[in-house]
Amino acid sequence: MIPFNRPALSGRELEYIREAVRLGQLSGDGAFTKRASAWLEEKLGALRVLLTTSCTHSLEMAAILADIRPGDEVVMPSYTFVSTANAFALRGAQIVFVDIRPDTMNMDETLLEQAITPRTKVVVPVHYAGVACEMNAIMETADRYGLTVVEDAAQGLLSRYEGRALGTIGDLGCFSFHETKNIQCGEGGALVVNRSEFVGRAEIVREKGTNRSRFFRGEVDKYSWVDVGSSYLLSDLNAAYLFAQLEASEDIVRDRLSVWNRYRSELSDLAALERLELPRIPRNCEHNAHLFYVKTRDLRERTELIGYLRERGVYAVFHYVPLHSSEAGRRMGRFVGEDRYTTRESERLLRLPLYYRMEEADVSRVIEAIDSFYRR
């Protein structure tokens, strides 16, 4: 079976883990945490990057920093992972879902304003497949209404929008280093802080609500509990693994792009015949080949294609079930406007195997199986 995903291994992960053990600090904010954070800050052009245990926890930190309280409203697409909504629902927010664009599967920026009420506090654009939302329009609307923008860039590391790194455009940005991501350490994440007034409190929230970071910098003579927070620090063992991946990140993305581009090229004939649809990348976006998907005619055809591919040793999978149709989504949120595309497009989308150092012969098998299905 050709797997859907195979975690990348750059070659120096074990070497760096052994070094972390030798250095003797395995908990958070050790030598490799500092090296990985500095690498990300320089590469992204970010004010501050704080490694966390997951993108979920980065989003939870963002909700605290945005001062979300019960009754506040947070606008986001329904087509996203549950963590995007959970982070704000945990603080008592009402989740307001808006429809997506069928071309990028991202939040439809033209629908944002109609979802804003006097209770709206945060907007969460989700960069699906590492392809940027229309951030200029989103930022302009958010600025006009005084809203905080939290970028869910879980899939977007090293992608860009008009030359700017995803995660650095909004007030806060959140990345994932889960093993399904391009750059990974099993479980991990990062919070990108783009406003100086958030930096100090972000350190405190990440350190269980204490001013421990200030203490180690010599700014206070002892550290104590000063705010809400939790244990959001990534282990230095994970950071060591992550740093090896970051060093190899350009090669990893370049390799994935070669697979992505081959899928795009060799499935284009079927797209021209309108048998399926392929991803669309806006001209102002530079993507990281996080995933490649095709869109079938409908849910029934997708189900048939999944079964056909698995019979031929290809593991392809669908993605999110829209949150507004879930039990928790109906209870803790509401959908504003018409669901023209969210449900329909989610039922058509199928993700193909794509991972670092995927064998060319396996790429051929995937393409041939899809071609065979549609040319029967």
* CATH architecture of residue range(s) 13-247: 3-Layer(aba) Sandwich (3.40)
Q: Which residue has the tokens 């945060």?
A: 122
In the prediction, which pLDDT does 216 show?
85
Q: Which amino acid is at 210?
A: T
In the prediction, which pLDDT does 323 show?
98
Q: What is the mean pLDDT of the chain?
A: 97
In the prediction, which pLDDT does 263 show?
98
E strands, the chain, where?
48-52, 73-77, 94-98, 120-123, 148-152, 160-161, 164-165, 172-176, 189-193, 285-286, 292-295, 333-335, 349-352
Contact 139, 169 (CB under 8 A): yes
Indicate the pLDDT class of residue 71, thresholds 50, 70 and 90.
very high
Q: Does the pLDDT of residue 65 top 90, yes or no?
A: yes
Q: Does the pLDDT of residue 330 top 90, yes or no?
A: yes
Q: What are the φ and ψ backbone dihedral angles of 6, each rounded to 5 degrees?
A: -135, 115
In the prediction, which pLDDT does 376 show?
85
Spatial distance between the Cα atoms of 204 and 197, rounded to a whole number of angstroms: 13
Of 93, 98, 95, 161, the C-alpha closest to 127 is 161
- The rounded percent of the chain whose pLDDT value lies above 70 is 100
In the prediction, which pLDDT does 94 show?
98
Spatial distance between the Cα atoms of 328 and 44, rounded to a whole number of angstroms: 35
CATH 3.90.1150.10 fits 249-374, yes or no: yes
pLDDT in tens, 349-368: 999 999 999 999 999 999 99
Of 355, 197, 240, 236, the C-alpha closest to 290 is 355
Q: Which two tokens stand for residue 91?
A: 């603080």
How crowded is the C-beta side of 55, counted as CA atoms within 13 Å? 28
Please, which contacts does 309-312 make with residues 24 or more away whose CB atoms are closer than 8 Å?
309/366, 309/369, 309/370, 309/373, 310/1, 312/365, 312/369, 312/372
CA angle 284, 276, 156 (to 5 degrees): 35
Spatial distance between the Cα atoms of 8 and 271, rounded to a whole number of angstroms: 30
In the prediction, which pLDDT does 259 show?
98
Q: Where are the chain's structural domains?
A: 13-247, 249-374
Rounded to 10°, the helix 82-89/55-65 angle is 40
Q: Does the pLDDT of residue 217 top 90, yes or no?
A: no
How much is the average pLDDT of 5-19? 97
pLDDT in tens, 115-157: 999 999 999 999 999 999 999 999 999 999 999 999 999 999 9
Rounded to 10°, the helix 236-247/13-23 angle is 140
Contact 103, 345 (CB under 8 A): no
pLDDT in tens, 291-314: 999 999 999 999 999 999 999 999
Q: Which two tokens stand for residue 1?
A: 């079976």
